[in-house]
Amino acid sequence: MSRMGMCVWVMLALVLAGSAGRASGSGFLANGPLPPVPVPADNPQTDAKIRLGRALYFEPRLSADNTISCATCHNPKTGWANITPTDTGIGKQVGDRNSGTIVNSAYMQFQFWDGRAGSLEEQALGPIHNPIEMGETLDNVVRKLNAIPGYRDMFQDVFGTDATTDGIAKAIAAFERTIVSGPSPYSRYLAGDREAMSPAAVRGQALFNGKGHCSACHSGPLFSDQGFHNLGVGMQVASPNPGRQKVTNKPGDLGRYKTPTLLNVAVTAPFLHDGSEKTLLDVMMFYNRGGVPNPNLDPQMLPLALTKKEMQDLVAFMEALTGTYPVMEAPPLPPDSPASAETGKGGAL
């Protein structure tokens, strides 16, 4: 093929690729449906493992004082997130991060706001031995679980061993991979139902991909570029939280935090990594101001000159990203053995 012919084919491919990424008839970028949940080869999904993970997710005995579970801060009834700006752990200790949601976390390349965990398995263990969250040691958690006959039997059934830290992590991660969102007004709109989104949401979609500059970071099916950005949140203090810099030790990562998914964002208030914005309209006003000036401010953070009506339309679009998601109660948890209850090693439910 001649060089000219090759150029024609490349240009055609680019045009077709661009067309495939746009909603039919909308003329704007379509983030598209979510792909199948990625599952690591060394932790395949099984029903028994998911049941074990569900029990562990709701299990307060994973904490040092037997009062805090994963569900305490990632509550299924509040969008698998928390309604407070930041979380409160054992001894009423208050952290400095908003909990974020478990919904669709299986798609994230990095876990936690600073991305310090590279998998759900790694993330699952972090809060257990965090001194201001669950405040327990991993060794003691293993001892506590193995002192409970029901858990010991479940681990033997799933992994062929008694409870281990690896088994705890894999089971919780397997359960969390089942917490994904379903159809939303936006997804139905993309599928051809032109009545699925309100006129305000349709206008908001255009702003999202245009004047609002939102899709620069909130892109792809997850509405997240999976990157880290400095919006200026918390940077006005003398010693700001380091954010991503604590993981990489790179000065340029000071104040950078992971781009969260926008799927189901409307049910997970408050917002931003410190929970400092109460509503989505508050978030839009923050972005409209261009964030908080600081030396590391992301170059994408610019004053937007949006009108209040335009910001309301953007909020309507984000609300249209709310899909179905699982809501459940805690399952029956294995009771303490008489011996562990007497010694206090198991803890009361």
Which positions are annotated as active-site residues?
133
Beta strand residue intervals within the chain, DSSP E: 228-229, 257-258
Long-range contacts, 91-97 (Cβ 8 Å, 24+):
91/65, 91/135, 93/131, 93/132, 94/132, 95/132, 95/133, 96/241, 96/274, 97/273, 97/274
- Quote the CA–CA distance of 100 and 131 in Å, as a whole number: 19
- Quote the CA–CA distance of 338 and 334 in Å, as a whole number: 12
Q: How far is CA 306 from the centre of its chain?
A: 28
Helix (H) or strand (E) holding 48: helix 47-57
Taking a C-beta distance cutoff of 8 angstroms, is the pair 280, 269 a contact?
Answer: yes
- Quote the CA–CA distance of 48 and 29 in Å, as a whole number: 40
- Quote the CA–CA distance of 333 and 97 in Å, as a whole number: 29
Start-to-end C-alpha separation, the chain = 72
What is the DSSP track for 99-163?
----TTGGG-SSBSTT--BSSHHHHHHTTTT-TTTT---HHHHHHHHHTSHHHHHHHHHHHSSS-
- Quote the CA–CA distance of 72 and 51 in Å, as a whole number: 18
Q: How far is CA 23 from CA 19, 30, 205, in A?
A: 8, 5, 10
Coil, helix or strand at residue 242: coil
Query: In degrees rounded to 5, what are phi and psi of residue 29?
Result: -55, 130
